């Protein structure tokens, strides 16, 4: 579950970054000009929100890694207990 959320958040942040860069710098090939010179407060808020999304993405990735290690330790403990019961210890 956590890994799925991290992947969705990563793709959303990548798309937002792309749109943010296009709005800031423009795209000359298609005739789009950047508009951050006209509305700098909006662009700074967008930059801040994309930065916060990257932080959330990395936190979710860390949570996913910790969940995997915790699950691995839990499974190893269950296997160890099952093996002890089987041997009659």
Q: Look at residues 59, 60, 66 and name the one whose alpha carbon lies nearest to residue 3.
A: 60
Give this prediction's pTM: 0.75
By CB atoms closer than 10 A (0-12, 13-18, 19+), residue 70 is: exposed
Count helices and strands (H / E) in the chain. 2, 2
pLDDT tens-place string over residues 23-79: 889 888 988 898 888 999 999 999 999 999 999 999 999 998 998 888 888 877 776
Residue linked to tokens 């992947």: 7
Q: Under a CB-based contact definition with an 8 Å cutoff, are residues 2 and 63 in contact?
A: yes
Residue linked to tokens 């909006």: 42
């Amino acid at each position: 579950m956590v890994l799925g959320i991290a992947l969705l958040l990563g793709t959303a942040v990548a798309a937002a970054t792309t749109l943010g860069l296009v709005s800031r710098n423009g795209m000359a090939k298609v005739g789009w000009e950047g508009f951050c010179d006209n509305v700098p407060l909006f662009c700074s808020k967008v930059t801040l929100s994309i930065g916060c999304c990257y932080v959330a993405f990395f936190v979710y990735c860390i949570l996913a890694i910790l969940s995997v290690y915790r699950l691995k330790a839990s499974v190893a403990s269950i296997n160890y207990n099952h093996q002890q019961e089987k041997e009659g210890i």
